[in-house]
Amino acid sequence: MDSEAEDSQSNAVYGVYNENLTHKTILVGDSGVGKTSLLVQFDQGKFIPGSFSATVGIGFTNKVVTVGDVKVKLQIWDTAGQERFRSVTHAYYRDAHALLLLYDITSKSSFDNIRAWLTEIHEYAQSDVVIMLLGNKADMMNGRVIKREDGERLAREYGVIFMETSAKTGINVDLAFMTVAKELIGRSVELPHEPKFRIHDVTQVKKQETGCCSFT
């Protein structure tokens, strides 16, 4: 396929997308669920055991994700999960384009707190923000206390995307951010006479291969 044909095909799928846009993407969830490790795994492709103390305040990384022929700029913010920093985190919700909400599959309390996090997100974030629920530390099967089905059920209840990830092994980490990027494109581009962009169509093959994902 020549370059003109490729460009035409890309435009048919994504419409006219502005690659100069920077999408603010925020990692949220309880302290210790692996937000910083997830970001480092995505940004640097590695896991650094025992190297992170609790995040204090806010830090961010810029990363470009390529979706087909389209480049999506993500500005990914790593937030502190401790209660005393919650008011700081609230301020960053307001102009966020995407929120990745993490819990630890080995920690019941981190999962139980997801509803409170989602309540805050719906209170402070924009109504069209992309929300993804991530059950992190999926490599720790022996310590699992939250079944994948529980995460899927909660995601269906709130109408958000769901995956399980491992910041340690990299399982579904790239896929999670790629899925967010695809959804951001879909919500940024109006395709006349076309059905609404559906994440399910993008990741169905991955789901069959890994059993990682659930969609509403």
Q: Where are the domains of the chain?
A: 19-214
Q: Which long-range contacts (CB under 8 A, 24 or more apart) does 3-11 make?
A: 6/69, 7/69, 10/68, 10/69, 10/70
pLDDT at 58 over 60: no
DSSP 79: E
Q: What is the pTM of this model?
A: 0.77
Residues in the chain: 216
> Edge-to-edge strands of the sheet including 98-104?
58-67, 70-79, 22-29, 98-104, 130-136, 161-164, 213-214
State the maximum Cα–Cα separation within the chain, in Å, rounded to a whole number: 55
Q: Is the pLDDT of residue 31 over 60?
A: yes
Local confidence band at 53 (pLDDT 50, 70, 90 cut-offs) = very low
* pLDDT exceeds 60 at position 69: yes
C-alpha closest to that of 29 among 85, 74, 75, 95 = 85
Residue 156 has pLDDT above 70, yes or no: yes
Amino acid 108: pLDDT: 98
Dig out the tokens for 146 from the structure: 């939250």
pLDDT at residue 22 above 50?
A: yes
Residue 113 near residue 86, CB atoms below 8 Å: no
Per DSSP, helices labelled H in the chain are: 3-14, 35-44, 86-93, 108-112, 114-124, 148-158, 173-188, 199-210
Q: Answer for the pair 27, 100: CB distance below 8 angstroms, yes or no.
A: yes
In three-state secondary structure terms, 164 is strand
Contacts for 27 with CB less than 8 Å, ≥ 6 apart: 35, 38, 39, 76, 77, 78, 79, 100, 102
Q: What is the CATH number of domain 19-214?
A: 3.40.50.300
pLDDT (mean) for 24-37: 92
Mean pLDDT (the chain, rounded): 80
**Cα(192)–Cα(103) distance, rounded to whole angstroms?**
37
